[in-house]
Structure 1
Amino acid sequence: MFGFFKGVALSAAILTGCVASGWSQQKTEAQPLTAMPYSPSLDLTNLDRSVDPCADFYKFSCGGWQKNNPIPADQSGWSVYAKLGDENTQFLWGILKEDAAMKQRTPVQQKIGDFFNACMDTAAIDKRGDAPIAAGMARLAALPDRAAVIAVLSRLQHLSSGNYFFRSGPDQDPDDSNKILVEVNAGGLGLPDRDYYLKTDPKSVENRTKYVAYVAQMLTLSGETPEKAASDADAILKIETALAKASLTNVELRDPYKTFHKMTVAQLSAADPVVDWSRYFEIQGAPGLTTLNVAQPEFMKAVDAELTNEPVDALKAYLRFHLVTNAAPALSEPLATADFDFYRRYLRGAKEQPPRWKTCVHGVDNHLGEALGQEFVARTFTADTKAKTVLMTGQIEDEMQVEIEHLDWMSDATKKEALRKLHAVRNKVGYPDHWRDYSSLTVKPDDYFGDVERALQFERARQWAKVGKPVDRDEWGMTPPTVNAYFNPQMNDINFPAGVLQPPLYDPKLDDAPNYGNTGATIGHELTHGFDDEGRQFDDKGNLKDWWTKDDATHFEERINCVRDEYAGFVVVDDIHINSKLTSGEDVADLGGTLLAYMAWKKATQTERLKPVDGFTPDQRFFVGMAQWACENARPENQRVQALTDPHSPGFARINGVVSNMPEFANAFSCKAGQPMVRAKACKVW
């Protein structure tokens, strides 16, 4: 799944599993919103007119925004997307307060209102302390031998949200996207990425030192002596380092063939015999499973080695730590605060914990997202917005067809397959056609930890129940309030939640130029993902299949490498450059998506006599509108994390990298050869 702006979705913080759910004592004047605030998609106050647009278009478009929008204390970064996400959260807060207080409620209102109430009751949560996990921790500590440790893994993964050695779950079969195939994949790490364990620079060494201290702190808070906790923390780092060494890099993970190794359960059992795999899948909810995908076979061998060779006490400590660290956000203040202090304050630079209402809104969105989404859509998303977005999407797809038909580097045979794929793309706008049924999920207003655990088990059971059934192509991978969008290569669909179709991203009050520059470029971005270095490897049905001639694939890679070479020159923070092998899919989607949106806007308005507005020509308004979605400020700590883990380039590169490759931009702002925003050798893929 390839997103537009990963990391700023409404529920992104909760989805990581590494954020605080602690109690903020900060004073805040924020109040629930009864209506969404309005910000224009082209805002003149966001400009910095002291900057030459031909020298630094991002700074010209966003310098005012950066000055006027400092990073809030509870955030690791701040952006137009994050600010809209925060406004959505504040609006949802108002909805949830109403639903929590109402006497007569629908079943949907009862569940989301009671979940919110339970989360807000910090006194009750603190009173329980670590009691919700105490029995589980004690059982893990009492495991008698290695066989018992190995056997408990199956039950832990079935009942708990913890990250134990590896991950598993249903996914679409790369060979046949209409079928569900169980996948076993790498997992088991407490740091954000494998490279955190392996890099030897001073900052990486410091990160590991801080991590070991955090592990010891969590074990101490859960009852261990400081001496035992320190020893266990060292053993846990050793286990995780071995897993990290066997994990694929983020760049390697961009190649879908590297994570597709179909085999039978019998073959997996022969290759990795430590786990009783037949029993494991029976416990997960797939008895009699015969075939699966082992995404990273070498990683699973490392799991076998760790389970076989590490001391039993070290393995038990590892399991206890992952139980407590994954549960921490739903536990009492000391545990939640420790979690925040490491993952958000130290690693990402946040200065304060978010106010409790934010944490609780995010929790409802994460666990009951389509229930909350019904309430959001009914209040914010108009039929007119949906119709105009659908129309714009169709126009951009038409321009993609024109581009494919006129490519001088692609053969007719590959063009035929590319057009077949383009015409098969499904466009999903706003919200699902059928809402998820939560009727079997029990939510209590006085049992927050229980609500979270039941919600996680509900979702895990829902996922495993897909095994053996046809793929539901109407399902969404984001909740309706989410400020983001994505392309799913196996579904071959592009998805635009209602949350991303609000001002200032889509602005019905303004002219078409900034809307095509902003929302249009987002649509084009997601569409282009179907034809980037990853997406191009899936056919019109979403199957992993090579539909390119050898020469066409070579020509494509040459053009991709032009983009990679350019973006590798951008510095993220300190001396860290963009890892353009990781970001190239998003970079190509930005470039191709903006071009498609520009072409679609030109065709849609070709019979109109467009005039300048506020001193900007229509073409200039298109590009300023395109740039202002990416305005952002970021803490250096967060920039370092994102440079290692995020497939998206920083905002300044996503704008300057695009416009410097577009002659249409240079013409709009009369930029001359030799200026920074005019590449001597422009890159163009689509």
Structure 2
Amino acid sequence: MRIGTAWLALALCSSTALAQPSAATTPTAQPVKQRGVFIEDINRKADPCNDFFDYANGAWRTNNPIPDSMVRWSRRWQSGELAKEQLRGILDEVSQRKDWPKASVEQLISDYYGACMDEARVEAQGVKPLQPLLKKIDALKDIAGLQRMLSELHAQRIPVPFGIAAESDFATPTNVIAHIFSNGIGLPDRDYYFKTEPRFADAREKYRAHIATMFKLAGSSEKAAKQAAEVVFKMETAFAEDSLDIVGLRNPANLDHKTTFAGLKKMAPAFDWAGYFRNAKIAEADLNVFEPKFLAEFDRQIKETPLASWKTYLKWHVVRSAAPFLSKALAEESFNFNDKYLGGAKEMKPRWKRCVESTDDLLGEALGRKYAEKYFPPAAKARMQGMVTNLLAGMKDSVEGLAWMGPETKKQALEKLSTFNPKIGYPDKWKDYSQVPVSRDQFWQNVVAGRTFDVVDDRSTLNKPVDRDRWGMTPPTSNAYYNPLLNEIVFPAGILQPPAFSMEATDAVNYGAIGVVIGHEISHGFDDQGAKFDAQGRLKNWWTEQDLKRFEERGQCVVDQFEGYFIEPGIHHNGKLVLGESIGDLAGAKIAYVALQKAMKQQPVPTVDGFTPEQQFFIAWGQFRGDAIRPETQRLMVQSDPHPTGKYRVIGPLSNMPEFQRTFGCKEGAPMVRPAAKRCEVW
């Protein structure tokens, strides 16, 4: 699925590294003994110079098979699921009272969670909560009504076949403008509609069957459901054909098509843009269109596709969007295709966990405020701030020491580095959800209310100066991101937990886990995407011609390396797709290693359990990235995810580092030592 301006959040990945609270979350007068790596996770039979992924974390994967409800598993995924128990504890606690003041944080999150957990009521309602909207679509009489319906669906965060998101202007990042993006398909990306390999052909057949099943569950006859599936698939295939592929979407230059409102109307004259913007309460100002070719196809379908087909298409995306929040039959069918067939999960997560996730999705800063208070103490924030400072200094040293970059480009790179804005833990200014109507007896209506708030909140920033206090992730989120338009790196409290970060861990372990993540996000400002934005966040070239050529040659080394990594015979990584994340891992590991050496000059790290500080550093990265991943999810990742699989996020960067080779005494020619002629180094 293509979600608006998601490419801007060059995130670490959905790592879900939340954890149970460390001893640091409660006051103690006793010093805590620093721990090293998880020695019980190490596969002592493996040779670190042969397969460091197996060595660092192989024993854990052997002893901890992937649970049926998960598609990936490691300590960080385990701790992420345990953290949802922390959130559940918060929700259960506030739910004990039923007399919270209306619109208070406690009333909102407890009633939302309580309505979700009322499974009997949700089951009894079945598809009824959708009937008013489905009937409204059925009653459409003309194209004018269709266009008004698109506005209504978008207000509920159902952006078909296009959406509008508020984001900084590529040319003037201090101003927020509307960005129009495509989102009219239900398969993971456009290539699923066209590639001829058996796995893609099978996905298309399964998708058609899935659409038909969902229509039957929503009340259609079997014949009508099959016909509806063909209508939907035909329209989506046409939209996909005129959309960029996943690699094309990675290049921001491909998405930069700023225009006036009059220019927008010329791109798609068949659509009533004035009426749409009026209904959406958006001013008719300059904006950006990600994919003009897609918009032309949208315009063609407005003119040529029968109204009956449009009704079918819209009803499909309404049902598809709502199914996980409705009756068991609909939720299970959604799971069966998206999570089981595409991802490889064996069973759904328990209802309480899905309700926790939904609460975080729609009321994330309300729930997150409670989470941060309980599980992210000031001491952890202070230590994290110190690490970020050291990592930024490490990146500065790296840039200054580059032999391949000339002084003019170095000056620009250092200027950009000096303007980085780190955000740690949680926002300084919290969102106000007091206008969101939430009750205990109408779960789907609560979902709509939360989504509507999200859309209104986003649109409220349009055509105004950028608000740098806003966050793109909720505090409990186990992830991190870099936004090139704001030149900010963001680390929610959710990722600042073991095994990524711990007040009990040695500096070597913390620098090897969260330290590499920090370096990864910093280097996103200088990867194949981030390097296209200057110190002010403008999409503007700041490289000399010669230096840019050298940078691209070094990036090609990384592309070639990952093209050689296969997840199974015949299926390998797309080096261009994973280039940015792989540059991030390579630079992150290098910068974090340098920062650790600096830190140890002030406070030495002891050898723990027989492992030197340097060994702890590399093993910590191998254990943090030690994901076991189901084959189905790996196939999905190599097709549509800019992140490599966990195995190659460990092997890939470390095999390029002489520091790793020295630390483990690896000989030339070992699998974990790339030949000097093929060794990649960017930053």
TM-score (norm 2): 0.94
Partner of 1:152: 149
Partner of 2:414: 419
For the residue of structure 2 that corresponds to 1:580, the secondary structure is coil
Residue among 569, 588, 591 paired with 1:593: 588
| 1:135 pairs with 2:132 | yes
Residue among 386, 389, 394 paired with 1:391: 386
Shift of 1:200: 1.1
Shift of 1:411: 1.4
For the residue of structure 1 that corresponds to 2:174, the secondary structure is strand
C-alpha distance in 2 between matches for 1:352 and 1:36:
34
For the residue of structure 2 that corresponds to 1:581, the secondary structure is coil
Residue among 598, 604, 618 paired with 1:623: 618
Q: Over residues 364-393 of structure 1, what are the superposed CA-to-partner deviations in whole Å (9 max), with x where a residue is unaligned? A: 100111111111111111111111111111
C-alpha distance in 1 between matches for 2:189 and 2:376:
37
| 1:333 pairs with 2:328 | yes
Shift of 1:147: 4.1
Partner of 2:194: 198
Partner of 1:176: 172
| 1:257 pairs with 2:250 | no
Write out aligned runs for 1:635-654 (5 A).
635-654=630-649
Residue among 63, 76, 79 paired with 1:81: 76
Any conservation in 2 of the 1:84–1:483 contact (CA below 8 Å)?
A: no
For the residue of structure 2 that corresponds to 1:483, the secondary structure is coil
For the residue of structure 2 that corresponds to 1:429, the secondary structure is strand
Give the number of equivalent residue pairs. Answer: 664
Q: Over residues 522-549 of structure 1, what are the superposed CA-to-partner deviations in whole Å (9 max), with x where a residue is unaligned? A: 1101000000010011111211111111
C-alpha distance in 1 between matches for 2:21 and 2:550:
53
Any conservation in 2 of the 1:41–1:518 contact (CA below 8 Å)?
A: no
TM-score (norm 1): 0.94
Residue among 320, 323, 335 paired with 2:318: 323
| 1:5 pairs with 2:2 | no
Partner of 1:359: 354
C-alpha distance in 1 between matches for 2:535 and 2:407:
17
C-alpha distance in 1 between matches for 2:215 and 2:143:
21
Residue among 661, 665, 671 paired with 2:666: 671
Partner of 1:477: 472
Any conservation in 2 of the 1:41–1:503 contact (CA below 8 Å)?
A: no
Partner of 1:18: none
Which letter does structure 1 place at the counterpart of 2:245?
A: T
Shift of 1:627: 1.3
| 1:495 pairs with 2:502 | no
C-alpha distance in 2 between matches for 1:4 and 1:247:
23
Q: Over residues 556-599 of structure 1, what are the superposed CA-to-partner deviations in whole Å (9 max), with x where a residue is unaligned? A: 00111111111110012342101110101000010101111100
Shift of 1:146: 3.8
Shift of 1:35: 8.1
| 1:572 pairs with 2:567 | yes
For the residue of structure 2 that corresponds to 1:428, the secondary structure is strand
Q: Over residues 408-455 of structure 1, what are the superposed CA-to-partner deviations in whole Å (9 max), with x where a residue is unaligned? A: 111111111111110000011111011111111111111111111001
Residue among 517, 538, 545 paired with 1:543: 538
Structure 1 304/615 Cα, relative in aligned 2: closer, same or farther at 3 Å?
Answer: same
Any conservation in 2 of the 1:71–1:78 contact (CA below 8 Å)?
A: yes
C-alpha distance in 1 between matches for 2:369 and 2:144:
47
C-alpha distance in 2 between matches for 1:607 and 1:468:
48
Structure 1 103/216 Cα, relative in aligned 2: closer, same or farther at 3 Å?
Answer: closer
Q: Over residues 339-380 of structure 1, what are the superposed CA-to-partner deviations in whole Å (9 max), with x where a residue is unaligned? A: 111111111111111101000000110011111111111111
Write out aligned runs for 1:365-380 (5 A).
365-380=360-375
Shift of 1:104: 5.7
Instruction: Provide the alpha-carbon RMSD of the alignment.
Output: 1.9
For the residue of structure 1 that corresponds to 2:173, the secondary structure is strand
C-alpha distance in 2 between matches for 1:308 and 1:579:
37
Q: Over residues 134-163 of structure 1, what are the superposed CA-to-partner deviations in whole Å (9 max), with x where a residue is unaligned? A: 0211121222234433442223222x3324
C-alpha distance in 2 between matches for 1:557 and 1:83:
38
Percent pairwise identity: 41
Structure 1 81/282 Cα, relative in aligned 2: closer, same or farther at 3 Å?
Answer: farther
Residue among 279, 289, 312 paired with 2:275: 279
Partner of 1:612: 607
Shift of 1:79: 2.9
Which letter does structure 2 place at the counterpart of 1:223?
A: G
Any conservation in 1 of the 2:87–2:356 contact (CA below 8 Å)?
A: yes
C-alpha distance in 1 between matches for 2:398 and 2:604:
26
Structure 1 551/180 Cα, relative in aligned 2: closer, same or farther at 3 Å?
Answer: same
Any conservation in 1 of the 2:35–2:608 contact (CA below 8 Å)?
A: no
C-alpha distance in 1 between matches for 2:653 and 2:23:
31
Partner of 1:563: 558
C-alpha distance in 1 between matches for 2:395 and 2:92:
45
Partner of 1:311: 306
Partner of 2:110: 113
C-alpha distance in 1 between matches for 2:322 and 2:23:
33
Partner of 2:264: 268
Which letter does structure 1 place at the counterpart of 2:224?
A: K
Shift of 1:317: 0.6
For the residue of structure 1 that corresponds to 2:592, the secondary structure is helix
Which letter does structure 1 place at the counterpart of 2:266?
A: A
- For structure 2, the residue ranges without an aligned partner over 5 or more in a row are 1-7, 26-33
Any conservation in 1 of the 2:181–2:290 contact (CA below 8 Å)?
A: yes
Partner of 1:54: 49
Shift of 1:310: 2.0
For the residue of structure 2 that corresponds to 1:543, the secondary structure is coil
Partner of 1:403: 398
Shift of 1:521: 0.7
Q: Over residues 642-680 of structure 1, what are the superposed CA-to-partner deviations in whole Å (9 max), with x where a residue is unaligned? A: 111111011111111111100001000111101111111
For the residue of structure 1 that corresponds to 2:578, the secondary structure is helix
Structure 1 260/452 Cα, relative in aligned 2: closer, same or farther at 3 Å?
Answer: same
Structure 1 9/174 Cα, relative in aligned 2: closer, same or farther at 3 Å?
Answer: farther
C-alpha distance in 1 between matches for 2:256 and 2:556:
25
Partner of 2:457: 462
Structure 1 438/610 Cα, relative in aligned 2: closer, same or farther at 3 Å?
Answer: closer
Deviates more, 1:455-464 or 1:100-109: 100-109
C-alpha distance in 1 between matches for 2:140 and 2:23:
53
Which letter does structure 1 place at the counterpart of 2:360?
A: D
Any conservation in 1 of the 2:16–2:79 contact (CA below 8 Å)?
A: no
| 1:123 pairs with 2:120 | yes
| 1:522 pairs with 2:529 | no
- For structure 1, the residue ranges without an aligned partner over 5 or more in a row are 12-31
C-alpha distance in 2 between matches for 1:557 and 1:435:
41
C-alpha distance in 1 between matches for 2:21 and 2:407:
55
| 1:685 pairs with 2:682 | yes
C-alpha distance in 2 between matches for 1:609 and 1:233:
64
C-alpha distance in 1 between matches for 2:482 and 2:638:
22
| 1:162 pairs with 2:158 | yes
Structure 1 502/321 Cα, relative in aligned 2: closer, same or farther at 3 Å?
Answer: same
Partner of 2:30: none
Any conservation in 2 of the 1:163–1:189 contact (CA below 8 Å)?
A: no
Structure 1 611/140 Cα, relative in aligned 2: closer, same or farther at 3 Å?
Answer: closer
Any conservation in 2 of the 1:521–1:596 contact (CA below 8 Å)?
A: yes
Which letter does structure 1 place at the counterpart of 2:14?
A: G
C-alpha distance in 1 between matches for 2:617 and 2:20:
31
C-alpha distance in 1 between matches for 2:369 and 2:135:
41
C-alpha distance in 2 between matches for 1:33 and 1:294:
43
Any conservation in 2 of the 1:179–1:468 contact (CA below 8 Å)?
A: yes
Q: Over residues 230-249 of structure 1, what are the superposed CA-to-partner deviations in whole Å (9 max), with x where a residue is unaligned? A: 01111110100011111111
Any conservation in 1 of the 2:91–2:109 contact (CA below 8 Å)?
A: yes
For the residue of structure 2 that corresponds to 1:466, the secondary structure is coil
